[in-house]
A = this chain, B = another copy of it.
């Protein structure tokens, strides 16, 4: 077990790596390093100053007049009482301005280090990071249909996310490995992320000791001192909306924030169920809840990185069924983006949401609506960017590929329009003139290699070619691509001493735990 940081994200460390024995490993990686996107177009701001203030005032009233409940967590109540909040049994009410003032110590942007420094990401400012979907008990592929996820599926999704350059992050619970005991899953999941990928990752949040184990495993890789000073693992903390934080979540929050690791605070609001049916109200509630969760991280450890999260969707009010990728949460995300920027916090918003059971037209249309809102609102960390089906119940192999292709297109979209002499192309017009074509002109030859984004899954060829090829739809093509990527997968190199330390840690922990299956 090594305490030395094997990889670290500073410039010095990067240059050491490049001179060192690991250089060859990185060169053998399946794609050029793309550690996130820098958004080069403005955010899409739809609300006026007056509208934003009205929502902020409603959030303030919710916090001051209704309050937030912290269940079964005396330590959280103590922190709030000391900070100046009004605590009555488990209910906390917040004087106007308190949480905003606490939030000032939170960084507006931070680096999450990956064990391969070329894959470290900046979260905040104008960067955009895509991570796969999170938390599905089921998985689906064309061959075997829908079934419970296994650790083999989990490893497959980690491998696929590693292979796909358009996903910058390995995510967390990419599916539930239902064949592993509930209280041991986190060990196998964090191991898989660290072993099968070298991208940044998320740890467990389902119990305090599991969160601590996750962070301890990160320490084995990055070194304890490095981890104390740098973010290397994220924890996704859901609010039990409306207006409740459960002890499970606040305990996990304290584990991550206390270790200087980043929490993503996520109010989980389906309008009509866990929030009101009006978007302005749901956004105000979301703002109130996430501000409180983010502020709690700062009470635990001022300066700890934290992400302003949001999960907003609607319900079909005749049936009560949750709906995803609908227009109301999309405009809600645009509003949330404006509100997060006013607090100067990194933002997480929506993802490739859909209620569809399969990666059909409904799925991709809903996912596009949701993902475009996420990038347009300025979200920095986009969880569920690929794979999500059936309201999050299912992780789809083909859906992962199709969504990742959409993520690829968003890299180009967020690049916007460059304006310079070459881009304005006056030389092309001079060469070609009226009525001719641009295929062979000098400007085209100079620019065509990088000119247009090309999908890795779309079929753009002639009809007859598509027909002769068996009339495959995009799910079919995506399934073939997933299979091909998995067949070609090669693990990123891992120091054998670290590998051994991780295996040892997992074996020792498992030996002390009695399986729990629910």
Q: A residues within 8 Å of B by Cβ?
A: 41-42, 44-47, 50-51, 54-55, 58, 61-62, 65-69, 91, 146, 240, 242-244, 271-285, 314-323, 326-328, 330-332, 334-335, 355-369, 372, 376, 390, 393-394, 402, 406, 409-410, 412-413, 416-420, 422-426, 428-430, 432-439, 443-444, 447-449, 451-455, 457-463, 466, 471, 473-475, 478
Identify the closest chain B residue to A146 (Cβ).
Answer: B463
Given contacts A42-B45, A319-B461, contact A474 B362 (CB under 8 A): yes
Residue from B320, B365, B416 within 8 A of A331 (CB atoms): B416
Residue from B330, B394, B475 within 8 A of A413 (CB atoms): B330
Contact assessment for B424 and A278 in the assembled complex, using a CB-CB cutoff below 8 Å:
yes
In the assembled complex, how far is the CB of residue A449 from the closest CB belonging to chain B, in whole angstroms?
8
Contact assessment for B448 and A277 in the assembled complex, using a CB-CB cutoff below 8 Å:
yes
Residue from B61, B274, B316, B458 within 8 A of A323 (CB atoms): B458
Separation of A275 and B436 alpha carbons in the complex (Å): 9
Separation of A433 and B288 alpha carbons in the complex (Å): 13
Separation of A455 and B447 alpha carbons in the complex (Å): 42
Given contacts A55-B424, A438-B274, contact A66 B430 (CB under 8 A): yes
Contact assessment for B278 and A451 in the assembled complex, using a CB-CB cutoff below 8 Å:
yes
In the assembled complex, how far is the CB of residue A32 from the closest CB belonging to chain B, in whole angstroms?
19
In the assembled complex, how far is the CB of residue A485 from the closest CB belonging to chain B, in whole angstroms?
18
In the assembled complex, how far is the CB of residue A390 from the closest CB belonging to chain B, in whole angstroms?
6
Max chain B C-beta neighbours (<10 A), residue from A240, A279, A419, A447: A419
Residue from B274, B439, B471 within 8 A of A273 (CB atoms): B439
Contact assessment for A323 and B460 in the assembled complex, using a CB-CB cutoff below 8 Å:
yes
Separation of A390 and B443 alpha carbons in the complex (Å): 28
Identify the closest chain B residue to A362 (Cβ).
Answer: B474
Which residues on B sit within 8 Å (CB–CB) of A280?
Answer: 417-420, 423-425
* 7 A–B contacts from the bound complex (CB under 8 Å): A271-B451, A276-B447, A280-B418, A281-B429, A316-B454, A319-B460, A331-B413
Separation of A453 and B430 alpha carbons in the complex (Å): 50
Separation of A423 and B51 alpha carbons in the complex (Å): 11
Residue from B327, B363, B449 within 8 A of A453 (CB atoms): B327
Contact assessment for B272 and A473 in the assembled complex, using a CB-CB cutoff below 8 Å:
no
